[in-house]
Chains A and B, each alone.
Chain A
Amino acid sequence: MLQKIYDWIDDRIDITPIWRDIADHEVPEHVNPAHHFSAFVYCFGGLTFFVVVIQILSGMFLTMYYVPDIENAWQSVYYLQTEVAHAQIVRGMHHWGASVVIVMLLLHTLRVFFQGAYKKPRELNWMVGVLIFFVMLGLGFTGYLLPWDNKAYFATQVGLEIAEQVPFIGEALKTLLAGDATIVGAQTLTRFFAIHVFFLPGALFALLAVHFILIRRQGISGPL
């Protein structure tokens, strides 16, 4: 049945080359943990992406209940934590996944660094990776505020004051982030929400696409 549907579509629009191009590629021996167990270090990049997928999925579902408003943000989080079946698990996935992403990303970075895989011709991909790292930190920072509890509030206040230390543009930067020069409140929360679920994920998807296209074009770096 599935085969027939596939054939019907493939017959008309020839999709086989498309997915072959994406899915079929050689994994060199030095990257395959079946040959050299130490090759598991090559998994960190893929694991980072896997956790990112978990973050996207759990985040999408969380927005079904979450409200980015100072009156209701905490209430809605409390409601989903206590009243909605499995919502605790989904929020747990998002909460812990946020930390695991950073850990995986750092392990991936360390592997690339110590293997010298960032060297010519892959410098550009290293730079894209660094940008992805910054976007991830931004996602972590903006997401931290969203439950609107005491920890979130005061952590954000500290974060905003760190941003204020930037020479010359510090104050403007803080106002831009918080939506108000002095208050961390209603406008800050909606701004952080918008940045967290629209702007940064958009940037992340674009950067990930470039990251993956580059690695496929250039191939995995050779054995040490």
Chain B
Amino acid sequence: MSDEKRQVSRRQFLNYTLTGVGGFMAAGLLISPVRMAIDPVLKHDEGGDFANAGIAIDDITADPQRIDWTIDQVDGWYESEVTRSAWVYRNDDDEIVAFSPICKHLGCVVSWEGNDDYPDQYYCPCHDGRYYKNGVNVPGTPPLQPLDVYEQEERDGMLFLGKIQPHEEA
């Protein structure tokens, strides 16, 4: 009996075979449930749906004003109308900017001149977070990023707002 050729013992062979078959069965069993569970992560966001924000382009001034509008939200099997809000104004370059009112600190809602002590600033009541008129966070206050902005579009003289995106400049 020369052991030269027996690189794989009978025991090893059986172990490999059983592990392989068992692994194959377990994988076959689990692949669909796992794919189903992670589906929300892999679903691509259709996005780009613009909704009428209910304000005419001509009515937007240099003073930020709060606008509220509703969008049709499809959440899985549940469809509903949800309210969105934004602060819109015309900046120095005569461009329209629509800020999301969600504070970049911990997600409270900010208001323009929400505190009498800080005129010409956005103010968050939760932790005294503040932003300048151009949406940039005031250094030394809790938020670390500027306010997010809505994607926007003009249709028939009305302002249409879409997805929320990070503020690019600053």
Q: Select A86's contact among B29, B35, B76, beta carbons within 8 Å.
A: B35
Q: Select B77's contact among A58, A76, A86, A87, beta carbons within 8 Å.
A: A76
| Size bracket of the B interface | 10 to 19
If over half of A's interface residues share one DSSP class (helix, strand or loop), that class is named, otherwise mixed; here it is helix
Shortest beta-carbon distance, A115 to chain B, in Å? Answer: 28
B33 engages A61 (CB within 8 Å): yes
- Chain A: residues with Cβ within 8 Å of the partner, total of 22
A76 engages B76 (CB within 8 Å): yes
Q: Which of A16-37 contact B (CB under 8 A)?
A: none
Assembled-state Cα–Cα distance A72/B79 (Å): 11
If over half of B's interface residues share one DSSP class (helix, strand or loop), that class is named, otherwise mixed; here it is helix
Query: Which of the 9-residue segments B4-12, B36-44, B128-136 touches chain A?
Result: B36-44
Query: At the interface, yes or no: B78 with Cβ under 8 Å from chain A?
Result: yes
A61 engages B37 (CB within 8 Å): yes
A64 engages B76 (CB within 8 Å): no
Beyond the given pairs A65-B76, A67-B77, A86-B31, 10 more chain A to chain B contacts, judged by CB atoms under 8 angstroms and listed by A's residue number, are A54-B29, A58-B33, A64-B37, A72-B77, A75-B78, A80-B36, A84-B39, A86-B33, A89-B32, A93-B32
Q: What are 9 A-B interface contacts by the 8 Å CB criterion? A: A64-B36, A72-B78, A76-B76, A78-B77, A79-B76, A85-B36, A86-B39, A89-B36, A90-B36
